Amino acid sequence: MEIRIGDLAKRSGCKVVTIRYYEKEGLLPKPARSGGNFRLYGEAHIERLQFIRHCRSLDMTLSEIRALLGLRDNPMQDCGEVNTLLEAHIQQVEMRVSALLQLKRHLVDLREKCSGSRSVEACGILQGLGNCNCHGESATNSQTSG
């Protein structure tokens, strides 16, 4: 059961270049090669790539995925780390959601501000974007410390 990279791409729903990229990044082991130097994949690769894609669809970073794969490759380990990683990821997602919701409230507020005067000069939106003091003159900013 040996398939080439194009077929693997079709099966996994990701692109050929992405598969090669994962290989370069060490997420997928180097496959066997054909006489003509084509990559030849087997069941294990297919399953592993699906695992990776699933994790990616859950917005995990490649290094999170690398960690999960590392655990998966040593099945005797305690699964506590898996839980920890997942928990941390969920929290990240939650934080991102609440940040976006706050941001959306801000955007909606802004939308209300258009006076409808139809002139950019008088548009409350642009004024709101310039005048709003929600980010202060002092460094209350996320960018500042980094």
Partner DNA sequence: TAAAATCTCTATAGTCACTATAGAGTCAAG
Partner DNA sequence: CTTGACTCTATAGTGACTATAGAGATTTTA
- Of 2 and 89, nearer to a copy of itself (C-beta) is 89
Measured from the CB of residue 35, what is the shortest distance to DNA in angstroms?
5
* Distance (Å, whole) CA 133 – CA 17: 46
* Contact residue for Zn ion among 30, 79, 112, 137 (CB under 5 A): 79
Q: For residues 30 and 118, which CB has a smaller minimum distance to DNA in the complex? A: 30
Q: Could you identify the residue written with the tokens 């209300």? A: 112
Q: What CA–CA distance (Å, rounded) separates 3 from 32? A: 10
CB nearer DNA, residue 51 or residue 113 = 51
Whole-angstrom distance, CA of residue 75 vs CA of residue 54: 19
Say if residues 4 and 41 touch (Cβ distance below 8 Å). yes
Site for Zn ion in 116-135 (CB under 5 A): 123, 132, 134
Binding site for DNA (CB under 7 A): 4-7, 9, 14-18, 20-21, 34-39, 56, 61-63, 143, 146
Burial (CB count within 10 angstroms: exposed 0-12, middle 13-18, buried 19+), residue 76: exposed
User: Footprint of Zn ion on residues 92-111 (CB under 5 A)?
Assistant: none
Interacting residue ranges for Zn ion, rule: CB under 5 A = 79, 114, 123, 132, 134
